[in-house]
Amino acid sequence: MADLKYDVVICGGGNKALMLAMYLTKFAGMRCGIFERRHEIGGGLATEEIAAPGFRGNTHANLMLPWYWTPLYRDFPEFWDYGGMIDQYKCSDGAIFLDTQKCLGIYSQKFDPTQERTAEQIARFSQKDADTWLKLWKLTSTPEYQRVLFDDLMNPAEWKTRPEYMERQMGVFNVIQEAGIDPMPYMGASPMEAVRMMFESEELQYTVLRFFPSSVMNVRDKSKGMLLLGMANMLPQISFARGGTHMVAHACHQWLTKNGCEFHINKTVTKILHDGKRASGIELHDGTQVDASKLVVTAGLSVMQLLDVIGRDVFGSEICSKVDNLSHHNLGSIMWYSYAIHEAPRYIAEDFNPDIHETMWLGLTTSSDLEHLGRECDEATKGQIPAIGDFNPVVWCHSLVDPSFAPPGKHIAQHEMQAPGAQDLTDDEWLRLKDKHAEDMIEFWSKFAPNMNWSNVIGIDTNSPYDIRRMANLPYGNCAGIDKSSTQDGPNRPVPELANHRTPIQNVYCTGGYWHVGGTASAAEAYNCYKIIASDLKLDNQPWTLAGNEEPDSLIDQQVQLVERVRNTFRV
Amino acid sequence: MSEKFDFIVIGAGPNGLAIAAYLTRAGQKVLLLEKRIEEGGGLMTEQVTLPEYYHNTHALYMMMVDQAPIYSDFEFESRWNVRHVFPDLQVTLPTRDGRALCFYRDVEKTCKSIAEFSSRDAEAYRKMHHLYAQMMDQILGPQTYVPMDPAPLMAAKAYASELGRELAELTEKTPLEIVTEMYEHEVVRAAMLYMCTHWGLDYSQSGVSYMVPIYLNRMVNYRLTCGGSHRVSNALYKSVFANGGEIRQSVRVKRIQIENGVASGVLLEDGREFHAEKAVVSTLNPHQTFLDYVGTENLDADFVAMIKGYMWEKSSMNNVHLALDDLPNFKAASVNPDVNQSLTYILGVESVKEVTDYYDAILDNRMPERSVMTCSFPSVHDSYQAPRGKSTAYLSQVVPYDLQPEGKEHWYDRDFKKTRTAEMIDLLAQYTTNINDRTILKSYMTTPVDIENKFATMAKGGFKHGAYHPLQMGYLRPNQDCSQYRTPIKNLYVGGASVAPGGMIIWGPGYNCANALADDYGIEKWWSQPENVRKAIERGYV
């Protein structure tokens, strides 16, 4: 007889597991047991005080977007109060060009809802681009565009082939054409080519292009140019989690524990017990067995771990070989440093725009030449760090906006940059690179902000792909697990046969960062998996079927209300 | 419109969690407010060096697992799977000439080790061990989990019994006097004296030496939490939720709201407001509670003067955490193999003078010339905390906060921290064969200012929220108006480490405050009076 018994056993305790457990508990009435290998839940929703005690550095997920948890805000009213809060800087994105010490600040929608302030800044480089920017912002705010966006994000692959989704796809083409944009040339273009087509000033081209690697997309990838519209639309929405990304994990944990879900940490799932057709439970590393009377779900495990815990023979050689050949080396292995500092960085470029220091996704680059980003992506695919001249770090300083990030009067800044894969270097090489990269970053950063020198540094957390291996589901150090190239995205992610969250075992389902959308801290992977489970089990009065909750419009409304709530709660 | 709760508890450290856990399980609606993301205060387990190495970056030793009622009341092991390891060899003082003075859980094994240095001291230890164990189990332990009596009543009860009289006389001596009268051998004296001073007792201070039997009894009663210290607080945290309690984390209190002399709620910096139908309970230090959040305008002048006179600790901690590529091998292990399995090591002292010289410098806010520290290798006792065949090290040194002449800001100086780290590692290297640049994969230092930055309640890096001084202990902690957990303001209670019986992971303030709240608000207690407390009351000790 098993030692523990639940309706559903969830393998993994990261953000996908937490958010899926919330839906299974509230809308499927199931009693969940969560089993997490590490000592802390949340997975990528992680904030640590490693740079220096009292200084909070997000060691994994950092950038949030208002769409991320729209289902949770709709279906779990306590989520915000329990800590599921986002906020935005005065400038949500931007770039500083060392050669001219000029800068381009993209104002957040919190501070500049109509984007007129942003257009003013763009106009200093190109009036035409300023007009294009406002046109894009208006276009992407239309219901037609937002519906297609949410359709793609918040539905499993097989639902997206339904007629109503296809109709909305067609609807958005008309809106784009009416805005005078011909989408066809973007179809086969790389992001680098696409930004050159859309904008004329290199400064705006660089600033928008810079966001592709941040979304784990190579700037030379021919299949990603068509996403330019979406990427440009995201820049004013870039947000962070108030208090630190780990707060979101605690928000879910509080809701779940109050509603009967049980957590078991320091427990590694080694086997899902099944008879080839149905699963009866799981086995842990210490030999204990856990009964699952209804479901077993792997949430956060890599697709490779999924094959192991169920048994590769069950999946068959074709799926196994596809999984074994998944690429993970294009982009996504990142240096994620935190810097506990006395003063916040103050930039020479503040002469050009005094707000630039309060920018969240601030790109620092030698010049606006797009090849800096091109070479950074090239080096990343070869498992190298580029020369300092080709550094394109993104930096931010959450303590400027949210004082809880650092002790009174002090600050914490962070940077992100592409890096070698975790297995590209030996342990010794990694330990040396981690320290050398800190030296290089201070040298590079101080060219833009003279006060970012070593005497301003209290301590640095050199968090690298080598450290990300603490997450057993990210053996390559890639934050999205595997590349988000076109063959491994959407209905192909991680492989077509598993994209809809089912496995060959009837009551075993799977989700995580290896599934669509992938590489985000959003609720999408959990919500889409839950939709498949609920439809397979033919459960009634599910949230998306309730009056007033029709999708995608109810999610779009949540996004609008969220931004309003941020504007009113955290005064600019 | 503010949200309504029966009780609002400010601070989700061990004591705040204890209060919330007891009250929620008694059916009360409790809100916890915590400035940090993580609950548990000093009960932290963090990966501050490398992946798969877990470090207990603050509290490591669980001193009252056999005494505190909370462990059985909340079924830590059976309900929340929180287990403790109780190593057989508790404290070891290796000597420079390769020997080792070992303190085991087993008194006879300890006497055998002491006898190698002085057979007279071995006999003295046996006597002390039994006497202090009696004092601990019959008086000092129970006293931790009942409200403190005023001094005259406490004295009267003490003098009513032989054991109580002996404890009262002991209290008036200084730790130095107690140790030097009892023991003759310098190494034995050094170990005994250091184990008192390491936790903040001033060797020349009389009037609080009832702490000496506590520390020298607990010295062989240290336990470690499997999986790391944070597991302990996490269990209570889950219990609070499971019983309907709530928490708001990463919040900054702006005001404890007082309406015509009565505490009614809490206002946060970000504008959120919470109403307390019954009471607001603060587990913060007295300055935060009364000067920052209540406000002097709500207090009478004498009380404000008392609060402003509250004394902070004179020393703090400078810790180094190491990720080691090997298991530690002590030179003294060639003589006694047990040495490699000791929970704690005292390094750098072999005479009383070396201990007193060290502390004279600390009390003078100077860094001593010669380093003295304790260290521990938790992963040796709990394999979860490091990869197989490797280990974690926790080097801990008592240091001044207000360093002279440089001032506290000097603790931010990276070169100074590098030399401090090297000095502590060199001291460890003197007693071991395999601690060197090859085996040390990564080091991580925390300083007194780091402690203050991480825990706002620990002013001047003082982890006990205030000095252990005779004018500020027992019935006088933090002062005579607040030591019984009520305060001059109706419906405002205090229950943190700055309140009797004091700091460390002993759960006393939280447990007693929960009992006081239950008594004052007519809440039916689901927990029963601990057995040792009942017996102590019967014997008139408490």
In this prediction, residues A227-231 reach a mean pLDDT of 91
Separation in Å, CA of B31 to nearest CA in chain A: 11
- Give the model confidence (pLDDT) of A137-153 as tens digits: 999 999 999 999 999 99
B39 neighbors A253 (Cβ within 8 angstroms):
no
- Give the model confidence (pLDDT) of A531-560 as tens digits: 999 999 999 989 999 999 999 999 999 999
- Give the model confidence (pLDDT) of B417-473 as tens digits: 999 999 999 999 999 999 999 999 999 999 999 999 999 999 999 999 999 998 999
pLDDT cut 70: percent of chain B above it = 100
Residue A2's pLDDT is what?
Answer: 59
**Number of independent structural domains in chain A:** 2
- Give the model confidence (pLDDT) of A432-466 as tens digits: 999 999 999 999 999 999 999 999 999 999 999 99
* Per-residue pLDDT at A571 exceeds 80: no
For an interface test with B, give the residue of A257, A399, A455 to mutate (most B CBs within 10 A).
A257
Does residue A232 share a domain with residue A371? yes
* A59 found inside a domain: no
* A143 found inside a domain: yes
Asked if the Cβ–Cβ distance from A431 to B442 is below 8 Å, we say yes
In this prediction, residues A205-214 reach a mean pLDDT of 95
Does residue A448 share a domain with residue A351? yes
Chain B environment of A39 (Cβ under 8 Å): 45, 54, 227-228, 230-231
Between CA A195 and CA A202 the distance in angstroms is 9
- Give the model confidence (pLDDT) of B392-401 as tens digits: 999 999 999 9
- Give the model confidence (pLDDT) of B54-79 as tens digits: 999 999 999 999 999 999 999 999 88
Count of A-B CB contacts under 8 Å: 91
Asked if the Cβ–Cβ distance from B227 to A39 is below 8 Å, we say yes
Chain B environment of A457 (Cβ under 8 Å): 414
* Per-residue pLDDT at A1 exceeds 60: no
Asked if the Cβ–Cβ distance from B252 to A83 is below 8 Å, we say no
* Per-residue pLDDT at B2 exceeds 80: no
| CA-closest candidate to residue A218, choices A488, A444, A422, A434 | A488
pTM here is 0.95
Among residues 510-539 of chain B, which lie with CB inside 8 Å of chain A? none
Q: What is the mean pLDDT of chain B?
A: 96
* A66 found inside a domain: no
Kindly report the three-state secondary structure assignment for every residue of A412-477: EEEEEEECCCHHHCCHHHHHHHHHHHHHHHHHHHHHHCCCCCHHHEEEEECCCHHHHCCCCCCCCC
Among residues 416-435 of chain A, which lie with CB inside 8 Å of chain B? 431
Between CA A546 and CA A541 the distance in angstroms is 6
Separation in Å, CA of A243 to nearest CA in chain B: 6
- Give the model confidence (pLDDT) of A299-331 as tens digits: 989 999 999 999 999 999 999 999 999 998 888
Asked if the Cβ–Cβ distance from A342 to B412 is below 8 Å, we say yes
Domain map of chain B by residue range?
3-47+226-311+463-538
Residue type, A154: M
Does residue A449 share a domain with residue A522? no
Does residue A340 share a domain with residue A201? yes
The interface predicted TM-score of the complex, written ipTM, equals 0.94
* A431 found inside a domain: yes
Chain B environment of A47 (Cβ under 8 Å): 37
Between CA A152 and CA A165 the distance in angstroms is 9
Residue of B nearest to A245 (CA): B37
| CA-closest candidate to residue A397, choices A373, A451, A361 | A361
Does residue A349 share a domain with residue A232? yes
User: What is the dihedral sign for C-alpha A72, A77, A80, A86?
Assistant: positive
Residue B1's pLDDT is what?
Answer: 58
Does residue A200 share a domain with residue A110? yes
Please indicate if any CB of chain B lies within 8 Å of the CB of A467: yes
Please indicate if any CB of chain B lies within 8 Å of the CB of A54: yes
* A550 found inside a domain: no
Q: Which CATH architecture has domain B3-47+226-311+463-538?
A: 3-Layer(bba) Sandwich (3.50)
Does residue A36 share a domain with residue A146? no
Between CA A87 and CA B215 the distance in angstroms is 48
Residue B500's pLDDT is what?
Answer: 96
Residue type, B398: V
Does residue A405 share a domain with residue A369? yes
Please indicate if any CB of chain A lies within 8 Å of the CB of B80: no
Report helix, strand and coil shares of chain B as percent, to nearest 5.
40, 20, 40
Asked if the Cβ–Cβ distance from A257 to B242 is below 8 Å, we say yes
Own/partner contacts of B335-339, CB < 8 Å, gap of 24 or more, are: B335/B98, B335/B99, B335/B100, B336/B100, B336/B102, B336/B113, B338/B88, B338/B89, B338/B102, B338/B104, B339/B89, B339/B92, B339/B94, B339/B100, B339/B102
Residue of A nearest to B410 (CA): A458
**Count helices and strands in chain A by DSSP H and E runs:** 19, 18
A436 neighbors A394 (Cβ within 8 angstroms):
no
Asked if the Cβ–Cβ distance from B248 to A83 is below 8 Å, we say yes
Does residue A343 share a domain with residue A206? yes
Does residue A416 share a domain with residue A389? yes
pLDDT cut 90: percent of chain B above it = 94
* A37 found inside a domain: yes
Chain A environment of B452 (Cβ under 8 Å): 54, 407
- Give the model confidence (pLDDT) of B300-317 as tens digits: 999 999 999 999 999 999
Does residue A205 share a domain with residue A117? yes
Q: What is the mean pLDDT of chain A?
A: 95
- Give the model confidence (pLDDT) of B174-189 as tens digits: 999 999 999 999 999 9
**Please, which residues bridge with residue A511 across strands?**
A299
Tokens standing for residue B346: 């005292």
Residue A45's pLDDT is what?
Answer: 96
Chain A environment of B441 (Cβ under 8 Å): 431
Asked if the Cβ–Cβ distance from A470 to B52 is below 8 Å, we say yes
Tokens standing for residue A319: 């799926």
Q: How far is CA A504 from the centre of its chain?
A: 29
Does residue A310 share a domain with residue A340? no
Please indicate if any CB of chain B lies within 8 Å of the CB of A48: yes
Residue B200's pLDDT is what?
Answer: 84
B51 neighbors A469 (Cβ within 8 angstroms):
yes
In this prediction, residues A206-218 reach a mean pLDDT of 94
Q: How far is CA B48 from the centre of its chain?
A: 22
Residue A519's pLDDT is what?
Answer: 84
Chain B environment of A477 (Cβ under 8 Å): none
- Give the model confidence (pLDDT) of B335-354 as tens digits: 999 999 999 999 999 999 99
Q: β-strand B224-225 against B84-85: which pairing, if any? A: antiparallel
> What dihedral angle (degrees, nearest 10) is formed by the CA atoms of A552, A553, A559, A561?
-160
Between CA A133 and CA A119 the distance in angstroms is 7
Residue B427's pLDDT is what?
Answer: 97
Residue A156 belongs to domain spanning: 104-241+335-468
Between CA B344 and CA B100 the distance in angstroms is 12
Chain A environment of B451 (Cβ under 8 Å): 53
CATH assignment at residue A517: 3.50.50.60
Among residues 243-282 of chain A, which lie with CB inside 8 Å of chain B? 243-244, 246-247, 250, 253-254, 257-258, 263-266
Asked if the Cβ–Cβ distance from B45 to A39 is below 8 Å, we say yes
| CA-closest candidate to residue B448, choices B398, B492, B413 | B398
Residue of A nearest to B451 (CA): A53
* Per-residue pLDDT at B230 exceeds 90: yes
Residue A173's pLDDT is what?
Answer: 87
Q: β-strand B253-259 against B262-268: which pairing, if any? A: antiparallel
Residue A6's pLDDT is what?
Answer: 98
